[in-house]
Structure 1
Amino acid sequence: MESLEKVEGTKGRKRGARRDPEANKQLLIKATLDTIADIGITDTSVSRICERSGLSRGMIHLHFGGKDNLLTAAAQQFSAEYYAEMDRLTDLGPDASPEDRVMAVVEADLSEVLLNPRSTKIWHAFRGIASSHPGIASYSSTQDEKLVDTLRRAFREIAERSGHDPGLADDATSGTLALLEGMWVNYLTDMQGFSRKGAGALIRRFLAGLYPGCFEASSNE
């Protein structure tokens, strides 16, 4: 009876799979991302994705045309989820100061919502093969146009208000993003010893050096 129920459950799942193609696509993408987080991208085979998702190889070819396109779709969704959370966490309203907008980006990127074991393993796996996989390369950059523009505009506002060199905006933007990327590397290599508070304070000190009189540390830092 147990084996019959298992067979019937499998048949039901396959029938449901045919009826809901979008759900199948999401299952395959989630299975791909979860497998990459668990064992790395090199060992993320079609067989492992099928085993985790409960779907067949044929479903991968039906919805994505093959593993490479599935990996690209997974990278695209992972990137979209990151930036959706970034937008949510940095929505401070129109009255926020430019310093607060910059630090909201820093704090969001260093938060457990975005910076966690699963996300860092997936992101570094995608970055590791981006040079040989154009599809993944399109979705694994930290230089997102909207994020870059958000930071650059904030730094220009700071310069206009405080009399600092407006040309610093590009350096401050690139430096902030480079420091954040480095923090993700540090987190991946030493998750137990990594300090989110310390990382945020270091970036604030870097920005305070570029813009004296701005980015003063709060009392709890």
Structure 2
Amino acid sequence: MSSQRRKFTREEPESRRADLIAATLDLMAEAGPAETTVRAIAEAAGLSQGMIRHHFSSKEDLVNAAYQAHMATQLEGSERDIAGATARARLARFVTASLTPPVVDPRALSLWAAFIHMVRRDPAMRATHEENYLAYRDRLEALIADAFAESGREAGTAELRRLAIACNAVIDGLWLEGGALPDAFAAGEIEAIGRASVAALLDLTLEEAE
């Protein structure tokens, strides 16, 4: 057997799957859903169209996997650098991270715009969207609960849920504008507004906790 023959490893199937997801994300962000065809994805990934059928049950399955991967990356970005601080500091840092690159980014906004119209017509996409929305909101709710406990305040489940929804809406709105018009805001402006708005909704001081 020739020593030049390529040696396959267990990691290769997962690597090919990741390459297909990455290619799908690039195409969705740069060209939009209409141009994200099976042929274009395969070419961008440097793989055959048969590889898509091998790793995914359909193009829709691949697109949904790409959406899941993107949303997971966004949540991971919001979680960065929040460990080892007080509860109010963790909440402040979570808000800050949610409103700064790489979470706030024109490409991330393009991906959101490309995916969001699929949510209403595709049950699988809707399920992915709901799962990730709830994951972010639940994480925010837990951070709010910890900040309240640290401050000696009590809040019931219904109030925490309401506050998490309200804070999430503020963060979403700022995220949208920051991604669409990044040059319209001064450095640090959006995240400062986000922290101040969340602090006002919660009647907590977050600035000094940073």
Shorter-chain TM band = 0.7 to 0.9
Is 1:132 the counterpart of 2:115 in the alignment? no
Relative to structure 1, the CA distance from residue 191 to residue 163 in structure 2 (aligned partners, 3 Å threshold; closer, same or farther) is same
Q: Which structure is richer in relative contact order (CA contacts within 8 A, separation 6 or more)?
A: 2
Relative to structure 1, the CA distance from residue 37 to residue 78 in structure 2 (aligned partners, 3 Å threshold; closer, same or farther) is same
**For the residues of structure 1 that align with 2:187 and 2:28, how far apart are their CA atoms?**
24
Structure-2 residue corresponding to 1:208:
199
**For the residues of structure 1 that align with 2:75 and 2:202, how far apart are their CA atoms?**
27
Amino acid at match of 1:144: L
**For the residues of structure 1 that align with 2:17 and 2:192, how far apart are their CA atoms?**
41
Q: Note the alpha carbon deviations across 1:34-76, whole angstroms, 9 max, x for none.
A: 1111111222111211221121221111111221111111112
Structure-2 residue corresponding to 1:184:
175
Q: Report if the CA contact (8 A) 1:86-1:105 is conserved.
A: yes
C-alpha displacement of 1:205: 2.4
Amino acid at match of 2:96: E
Is 1:26 the counterpart of 2:15 in the alignment? no
Amino acid at match of 1:190: L
Normalised by the length of structure 2, the TM-score is 0.80
C-alpha displacement of 1:121: 1.3
Q: Report if the CA contact (8 A) 1:110-1:196 is conserved.
A: no
Structure-1 residue corresponding to 2:29:
37
Normalised by the length of structure 1, the TM-score is 0.76
Relative to structure 1, the CA distance from residue 212 to residue 178 in structure 2 (aligned partners, 3 Å threshold; closer, same or farther) is closer
Amino acid at match of 1:100: A
C-alpha displacement of 1:218: 8.3
Relative to structure 1, the CA distance from residue 213 to residue 49 in structure 2 (aligned partners, 3 Å threshold; closer, same or farther) is closer
Is 1:144 the counterpart of 2:134 in the alignment? yes
Amino acid at match of 1:177: N
Q: Report if the CA contact (8 A) 1:131-1:137 is conserved.
A: yes
**For the residues of structure 1 that align with 2:14 and 2:113, how far apart are their CA atoms?**
27
Structure-2 residue corresponding to 1:5:
none
**For the residues of structure 1 that align with 2:190 and 2:46, how far apart are their CA atoms?**
40
Is 1:64 the counterpart of 2:53 in the alignment? no
Alignment length (residue pairs): 202
Q: Which has the larger radius of gyration?
A: 1
